Amino acid sequence: MAALTRERILTCAVAMADRDGLDAVTLRRIAGELGVHVTSLYNHVETRDAITDGIVEALLDEAHLPVTPLGWEEWTRSFLSAMDTLAGQHPGAFAAFSHRPVQGPRAAASFEVALGAFGEAGLSPQDAYGAVKSVAFVGLMVGTERSMAARGQQLETAMDELPAESFPRFHALEGHDPTSAWSFSTETLVAGLRAQIAASGH
């Protein structure tokens, strides 16, 4: 039997979350899948929250977020693309991002690059922080919808519950590809950030 390590535990947790959903991931279930007693896990992950933190850490490792100096727009697009890809590949585990704060050196390294990029573009430190948070918000929300779609969950309003005479604009959208809103969000965000940078005088 392979040695019990934190990496092996987290690999199991990510796979379980993708297969059964994040809420299904428990220390007892992980121990069962690995063929060990649950107390054996405590030397590596002491709590359920530690498992969720570890899932976030593992996903960030896999995401390959931009960590080398680059322009603000390239960072923004690279970050959003990485989160979108991650959500499609890990539709269950991605939910961990909404359960625990994203922290640690892996996330900080990419955000440090972004703060520098927005600062070089002319934003104040406070506005650069706001820009980075805005990108993160869009990445997480689009990623959440992407992960729902990958799990086969409904993304659109149930049109049959809305009478056409009262909601004609909703019904005009019937058959519309909901994923187009994701790319629209990226372009709207980039345009807004560009306008903020222009307004700063640079």
Predicted local distance difference test score (pLDDT) of residue 157: 64
The answer to whether the beta carbons of residues 115 and 129 sit under 8 Å apart is yes
- Residue 151 has φ and ψ, to the nearest 5°, of -90, 0
Q: Is the predicted pLDDT of residue 105 greater than 90, yes or no? A: no
Read off the pLDDT of each residue in 127-134 and give the average, rounded to a whole number.
96
Predicted local distance difference test score (pLDDT) of residue 156: 63
- Residue 116 has φ and ψ, to the nearest 5°, of -65, -40
From 77-81, 159-163, 195-199, the region with the lowest mean pLDDT: 159-163
Q: Is the predicted pLDDT of residue 146 greater than 70, yes or no? A: yes
Q: What is the mean pLDDT of the chain?
A: 90
DSSP letter at 163 equals -
Q: CA nearest 27: which of 134, 187, 120, 36?
A: 36
